[in-house]
Structure 1
Amino acid sequence: MQKKNIITICIGLPIFLILAISIMLHAAWITGFDNFFEQLVHTIPGLKGLMLKITFLADTKVDLVWMLLIAVILWFRRQRPLALSIVITMVTADAVGYVIKHIVQRSRPLNHLAVDDGFSFPSGHTLGMVVIVFWLILIMIPVIVKSSTTRIWLYVLLIVWLIIVMISRVYVYAHFPSDVCGSVAFSVTWVGIVDAIWDKLTPRTQKNNF
């Protein structure tokens, strides 16, 4: 297992478990955590229209479109192991996330939109976007981008976009802050787990033959 996968799993998994268990036990610190960041996010009023547009771009169905677009490009570049890697990572992450939602069974914030139905933890929008962002950061960009400066700028842009998506989900009352944080922790962990397994199944020279 590569060092990057060990780090993502060792950091992401404990955070996810702490959040999930605390939510299920209705821990007081979770309420305080959510209240603090909800107030922080809503410091600037009048951004609902913008936030709805952002949340649309990170919709679970749109996430699948981004995933398929990346996979198709890689497939036609004859990088079929990489193309399969992102598809498998996304599909399995969504499936496990769905199961977790029904295990935790957390209700959404009171003011959520009617379109945002179902359980709240973890955030599906955030989960899919984190999978894409961290798959690019951990797996694809280090291989295809040779310039370290360009890589850093891409990492920064992707992380900023991810933070904006997280904020948008809280801003429109679709999720609690702990929901989106839990999604990040879970997705980072899942990308690390799937990539670690993928490394065992696919030789690095074949997988990253750019």
Structure 2
Amino acid sequence: MEAGGNKVLQRKTMYLYSGMLFLFSIIGLNVIIQTDGLKKIDQVGSQVIQNNPSSQLTAIYENISAMSSPTTNLILATIIFLMLFFMNNKVKAIFFFGSFLVSGAVIPYIIKHLVRRERPIHQLVSETGYSFPSGHVASAVALYVLILWLVFQGSKRSNLKNVSVVLIVGWIIIVMLARVYLGAHYLSDVTASLLLCSGLTGMFIYYSKPLEEIIGRRILSLIEK
């Protein structure tokens, strides 16, 4: 019964990640076609989030944006990679860093330059580059989902796991709000990033065991030669 239950749970988990990627593709298609429905949703989203702006709130969201930038998240991911690597957990270190790079940087970057969506006109801070999907949200989601994976693997304390989930989900929502408030992104940009990178990172975690076996057999053997 337990084995059968695990298989059902695994199948549902895969459906969840696949569903996230499917929803991302739907949003992406609407962005490319520039449908009126998506434009309306983005317009309403910006109006609600940017309602009653103030210099104090702008400064707070600017700091949050800087703390969640792709560069900052890359630095944090590198620190975690080095900690794992030199704590004699090389396989997990390589899996962690590789999953972060692919899910949170490489694939979002490729999509961004394929779609080439222009950023919103009215910005509270000057931003360059393309808008869809959000690089800040993408790198944050990939990084913190992988951190959650490490916490769940390394700790048996349910309180720590629950607190970690609440803090990380809360932080990602704040980052999404900050990017829309500052006028750097549309609501659809940050929502699509959340779906894309949750789905991609979840897929990596789902296949973590076979991927770690490949890393252990092939990649580490090349490094140690």
> Within 2, Cα distance between the matches of 1:136 and 1:11?
22
Q: Which has more radius of gyration?
A: 2
> Within 1, Cα distance between the matches of 2:208 and 2:162?
25
> Within 2, Cα distance between the matches of 1:51 and 1:106?
23
Give the structure 2 partner of residue 32 of structure 1: 40
Asked whether the 8 Å contact 2:125–2:182 carries over to 1, the reply is: no
Q: Indicate the SS of the match to 1:116.
A: coil
Higher relative contact order structure (alpha carbons within 8 Å, sequence separation ≥ 6):
1
Q: Indicate the SS of the match to 2:97.
A: helix
1:163 is matched by which residue type in structure 2? I
Matched, 1:6 2:14: yes
Q: How many residues matched? A: 203
Q: What is the aligned-residue RMSD (CA, Å)?
A: 2.0
Matched, 1:135 2:146: yes
Residues 159-199 of structure 1, C-alpha deviations (whole Å, 9 max, x = no match): 10110011110111000010001111110111123234432
Give the structure 1 partner of residue 188 of structure 2: 178
Give the structure 2 partner of residue 41 of structure 1: 49
Percent of residue pairs bearing the same amino acid type = 25
Give the structure 1 partner of residue 76 of structure 2: 66
**CA shift in 2, pair 1:143/1:176, >3 Å:** same
* More moved, 192-201 vs 163-172: 192-201
> Within 1, Cα distance between the matches of 2:115 and 2:29?
8
Asked whether the 8 Å contact 2:95–2:212 carries over to 1, the reply is: no
Q: Which residue among 211, 216, 224 is the counterpart of 1:201?
A: 211
Gaps of 5+ in 1: none
> Within 2, Cα distance between the matches of 1:37 and 1:97?
22
Matched, 1:144 2:154: yes
Matched, 1:116 2:124: no
Q: Normalising by structure 2, what TM-score?
A: 0.83
**CA shift in 2, pair 1:191/1:5, >3 Å:** farther
Gaps of 5+ in 2: 1-6, 217-225
Asked whether the 8 Å contact 2:92–2:212 carries over to 1, the reply is: no
Residues 115-174 of structure 1, C-alpha deviations (whole Å, 9 max, x = no match): 42111000001100000111122x211111211122111100011011001111011100
Q: 1:69 Cα shift?
A: 1.4
> Within 1, Cα distance between the matches of 2:18 and 2:174?
25
